[in-house]
Amino acid sequence: MSERWLVAMSGGVDSSVAAALVARAGHEAVGVTMDLGEGSARDAAPRSAKKCCGLPDAEDAREVARALGIRHYTANYRDEFKSHVIEPFVAEYAAGRTPIPCIACNRVLKFDLLLRRAKALGARGVATGHYARIAAAPDGGLGLFRPRDRDKDQTYFLFDLPRATLERVRFPLGELEKSEVRALARELGLVTADKPESQGICFVPDGDVRGALGRLAPGAPRVPGPITTADGAELGSHDGAVGYTPGQRRGLGLSSGPWYVREVRPAENRLVVDRAAALEARAVALRGAHWLDGAPPAGEVRAVVRHRHASVSARVAPGAEGAEIHFEKPVWAPAPGQAAVVYDAADERVLGGGWITGALA
């Protein structure tokens, strides 16, 4: 039966092909590009660079929609992006944590606000260009699974979607390799077929987090402070502790290395550094734990503490703030503010996860 689906079109090749596949399946695809604001670094970047939801991207999305013969709209979500993504990003770094803005952007903008818009337009739900799969879980309901192309896996950024939301979401690229996506885009003659990949955070296109924080919060002072070991021995200085993350080595300017950031203490304006071995952790504490099956998983699972990290065997246990994850092998530099995402023992189905508050001894 033909259905109407709202397709989130960022102006890249993945969302372009997602729209094409929805239409190819006999459904009515309606493209929507989210206008997330002007004046940021993404809009100043060259048109050939891959950004996210800037004005050149909306033009590319419109051109793709014309080629596919589908309707396309641009919707203003600037205020929502600022309040749910930008401001928390700045606040988390100010608190010494390492945020993941892509998770909030997915949960709030794409799979809350866009789902509301889909309902208002009489659409079945929202389709996106994420590399993930929705399939039957062991209990017969829908589950979130890793995609066929594991190199492009984006399930880490989707772990906290409510399970009920999966009924109204489609990921058309879940069974495709990236090379197949590009080949299909070329076959269809889409202008996005050879557009460069999206890398990192869309409003930090050059990867310079500290520079982005200076742009996003220009009134926040940068005050020089000490870089010390855990026992207080001073090794050097920095020009402001905010914006560093555990595991970071670059930009410290220390001799007798290598040294890595172990802890960011914004209240003291201090960076604590250590050797690599000291940053390995056998367990982490979580807050805000979210489990798709409604309860923490029992028995052996797989878990990751950063996107693109290899999963390790682990077990979930109750914790003071909600949950703990204990790893069979040490994990590298778990950072407060990052997500720990849990998969089933087969390393395929997302079971949930939470926000890391710190490593446990």
Active site (annotated) includes residue 102 = no
Both tokens of residue 57? 């991207």
d(CA 122, CA 5): 9
Dihedral sign for Cα atoms in the order 195, 196, 202, 208: negative
Peptide bond into 258 cis (omega under 30): yes
d(CA 151, CA 170): 20
What is the SS3 string spanning 129-152? CCCCEEEECCCCCEEEECCCCHHH
Active site (annotated) includes residue 52 = no
Both tokens of residue 39? 């004046």
d(CA 270, CA 224): 9
Q: What does the radius of gyration of the chain's CA atoms come to, in whole angstroms?
A: 21
Cα 195 from chain centroid? Answer: 20
Helix (H/G/I), strand (E/B), else coil: 49: coil
Instruction: Report how far apart the first and last C-alpha atoms of the chain are (Å, whole number).
Output: 55
d(CA 30, CA 354): 33
The single residue of 52, 53, 102, 202 carrying the catalytic annotation is 202
Both tokens of residue 138? 């062991």
Strands, sheet with 4-8, edge to edge from the N-terminal-most edge strand: 71-76, 28-35, 4-8, 125-127, 169-170
Q: Which helix (H) or strand (E) holds 356?
A: strand 350-359
- The burial class, CB within 10 Å (0-12 / 13-18 / 19+), for 229 is middle
Type of residue at 33: T
Both tokens of residue 301? 């699972």
Supply the residues annotated as catalytic: 105, 202
